[in-house]
Amino acid sequence: MSTEIQRRGAIREGIRLEVFTISWMVIEAAVAIGAGVLSRSVLLTAFGLDSAIELISGVTLLWGLAAEARNAELERIDRVERRAVQMSAVLLVLVCVYLLATSAGALLFRLEPGGSWAGLAISAAAVVVMPLLARRKREVNKRIGSPALRADIAETITCAYMAGAALLGVALSTLLGWWWAEYLAALGLLLFIGREAWEALESARESGGRAEDDD
């Protein structure tokens, strides 16, 4: 089997994986944000917001893979990817500001979140699903060699870590009544989301520089 045929097969597999990722992120974002709002949980709301950002990234990557499968113009694909990276960077910075401000304020004024079994369920599911999904994407990208898919894999792994932090914080709050654990876990998420935001900002600057050079 030729290398080109193998690559096209890998692209089709990548498309299927991104369709699953997008479907998952729709559910994850909706459940996490909904549970976060109902239980007044900063942690779950932030987890859901990051899932929504990853949904944007997944839609963009799916479009790029599908366009490549149709032999579309690479310049057009790059332009859409640059815009998506810039949008994700801005949104991630806003999530970091939200986490820091709301968690610090809630700890200061002792605002106790309610328990959330739905939040526990979606976090536990993500802890299991995300590492498996990242491993499958990594296998596919060995044949594709896509920088965009490599970045998407990093986001999937980050989502797994974030789900673990959310699971721990919500479990301690729901099961043991340690309301402050959610806010400490939310501040801990800044380590993951902050790194994501920094990398996205760097990518946005690099893509902006490449666009100016092309002009």
pLDDT tens digits, one per residue of 164-199: 888 998 899 888 888 888 888 888 878 877 887 787
Mean pLDDT of 12-36: 93
Residue 143: pLDDT over 60 = yes
Domain ranges of the chain: 3-214
Q: Which CATH number fits domain 3-214: 1.20.120, 3.90.550, 2.20.130, 1.20.1510?
A: 1.20.1510
Q: Would you state the pLDDT for residue 133?
A: 94
Residue 207: pLDDT over 80 = no
Share of the chain above pLDDT 90, in %: 23
Query: How far is Cα 51 from Cα 27, in angstroms, rounded to an integer?
Result: 9
Q: Would you state the pLDDT for residue 2?
A: 66
Q: Would you state the pLDDT for residue 211?
A: 54
CB atoms under 10 Å from CB of 61, counted, come to 25
Instruction: Of 105, 83, 112, 131, give the one whose Cα is nearest residue 172.
Output: 112
Q: Would you state the pLDDT for residue 131?
A: 94
Residue 84: pLDDT over 80 = no
Q: Would you state the pLDDT for residue 107?
A: 81
